[in-house]
Amino acid sequence: MTVTYAAPGRINLIGEHTDYNLGFALPIALPERVVVTLRPDGSDTVVVDSADEPGEAVIPLTTAPGEVTGWGAYVAGVIWALREAGHPVGGGQMSITSDVAMGSGLASSAALECAVLGALTTAAGVTLDKVEQARIAQRAENEYVGAPTGLMDQLASLYGAERHALLMDCRSVDVREVPFDPDASGVALLLIDSRAPHRHAGGEYAARRRSCEQAAAALGVDTLRDAQDWGLGALDKVADRVDAQRARHIFTENRRVLNFVAALEANDYHEAGALFNASHASMRDDFEITTQQIDLIAESAVAAGALGARMTGGGFGGCVIALAPEDSLDAIMSSIPTAARAAGFDKPTLIRARAAAGAGPVPN
Ligand code: GLA
């Protein structure tokens, strides 16, 4: 028996760094996915190779955090987290292929975790609901790989739906499909890859998370979500001005997610674009996770006719997304690479993106 399982990357439309503050986010799943093929062999190791990496990783089923590093850690982490949760895992030969761009802020690691988890549980005859799958994959990333990320990427990969965005309430872990089909209104969702890799397990992400936790503590609540409705004036109680600034991004960003959903429901892409711009400004000025290169791309998109543009993902590089009327596409496609090159940056790549289905088995 061979099991093949695929899981997509994602674009977060809006709601950045809100997930670990138990707020709102609105991602879509992408057509691009990680595909894992598993041939169970009854042994007590998983031997895994990847089309994108040299060599193979040999992972004992009894693996523990710290033992496997590099790309193999994502696979080992899922094996470990599944067993920690009390689920059976069998050995076998595993192969990975992927067309999700790595290091672009499109959640290639969550896609890998979810595809590995799907293959292992299918082979073992175990059925888990999507929230439990997401939590196990997140635990693999947090505790085995060592990146203190939230739950959005895994939920997006698992819940993806064609022509729909996924409104997540990260406190109740409720995911609601929201129709998202800009093409039907003559608007394109553009995905612009700066080709400057973002740093994921890096210190800046953890530092932002720490600042948010400190701000929550100064407000006397467990998470910033608990103070969401207090108004921005409440932040005067946060003595550390940087922590207060980070919290302001979270409060305003949560509000923008809900306003963005309302704009989609009203088919108002001008308002949706304005919310993209406001989100980008907040990430640039309050959360300070953009870069000059990313700011330049977002500004150039708007200058060339986009309704709005913002960085998507964890930050410090990666991708910008823009909502662009079809008649502005030619101008945007030509002006962004020109502006980036003129400023001495790599030439970005631009593609039109669409919401796609979530993770699932691939018929053999
Ligand atoms: C990364 C993390 C997510 C989320 C985003 C920022 O993608 O994996 O959990 O925090 O950054 O919104």
Closest ligand 1 atom number to CA of residue 314: 11
Give φ, ψ of 291 to 5 degrees. -130, 170
CA of 26 to the centre of ligand 1 (A): 12
Distance separating alpha carbons of residues 253 and 126, to the nearest angstrom? 38
Terminal-residue alpha carbon distance, the chain: 10
Share the mean pLDDT of the chain: 96
- The 10s digit of each residue's pLDDT in 133-146 is 999 999 999 999 99
CB atoms within 10 A of CB 27: 29
Query: CA 140: distance to chain centroid?
Result: 16
Distance separating alpha carbons of residues 120 and 48, to the nearest angstrom? 12
**Quick one: angle between helices 269-285 and 241-265, nearest 10?**
170
Which residue's CA is the nearest one to ligand 1's atom 9? 150
CATH number of 3-177+357-361: 3.30.230.10
Closest ligand 1 atom number to CA of residue 150: 9
Q: Which residues line ligand 1 (CB under 6 A)?
A: 12, 16-17, 19-20, 107, 149-150, 152-153, 313-314
> What pLDDT shows up at residue 201?
41
Which residue's CA is the nearest one to ligand 1's atom 10? 17
Helix intervals (H) in the chain: 72-84, 108-124, 130-139, 152-159, 203-219, 241-265, 269-285, 292-303, 329-342
Closest ligand 1 atom number to CA of residue 105: 7
CA of 16 to the centre of ligand 1 (A): 7
> What pLDDT shows up at residue 202?
65
> What pLDDT shows up at residue 216?
98
CATH of 180-353, one of 3.50.50.100, 3.30.43.10, 3.40.50.720, 3.30.70.890: 3.30.70.890
Identify whether 153 is a catalytic site residue: yes
Pocket test for ligand 1, best of 149, 151, 312 (most atoms within 8 A of CB): 149
- Name the residue ranges covered by the structural domains of the chain: 3-177+357-361, 180-353
- As a dihedral over the C-alpha atoms of residue 350, residue 356, residue 359, residue 364, rounded to 10 degrees, the angle is -100
CA of 150 to the centre of ligand 1 (A): 6
Q: Which of 19, 153, 243, 286 is catalytic?
A: 153
Residue with tokens 């991708």: 319
CA of 12 to the centre of ligand 1 (A): 9
Residues of the chain with pLDDT under 70: 198-202
CA of 128 to the centre of ligand 1 (A): 23
> 3-177+357-361 and 180-353: same fold?
no
